[in-house]
Each structure stands twice: as structure tokens, then as C-alpha cells.
Amino acid sequence: MTLKCHVCRGLQVGKVGSDQYYCWNCFLEFNYARGRLNLFEVGEDGVLTAVDEFPGMV
């Protein structure tokens, strides 16, 4: 199964943890919890910051 990024629709998505994915096109990490998509920006120090809304998200 090929996983697409929900923001940029790119195919360059990799698994970085248990049910955690990273998009190399838009540099966002995401997961699914309780049927909901959760987006995170990865800071320079590796800290994840939740993204509530992302312009242009499909």
C-alpha cells in the first residue's frame, strides 16, 4: 500500500515510528488517532508542534 501525504499529495512518505509518518515534500509529520489526521511541524530541536489547519490541505 502506498501512502500519500494529505497536505501535498506527495508519495515521498516514510514511517518514522509506530503509526507515525513523515513527508519529505512538505516536511510535516502526521499520524491518525481515533480516525482523525493529526499534523505536526518538526522543529530544529526535534520537538513536534501541532498544526491545527494547513493552507491548501486537501
The model carries a pTM of: 0.81
Report in angstroms the alpha-carbon separations of 46 from 2, 11, 26, 28: 26, 23, 16, 12
Domain count, the chain: 1
- Which pLDDT belongs to residue 55? 60
pLDDT in tens, 26-55: 999 999 989 899 999 999 999 999 997 656
- Which pLDDT belongs to residue 22? 96
* Domain extent at residue 7: 1-58
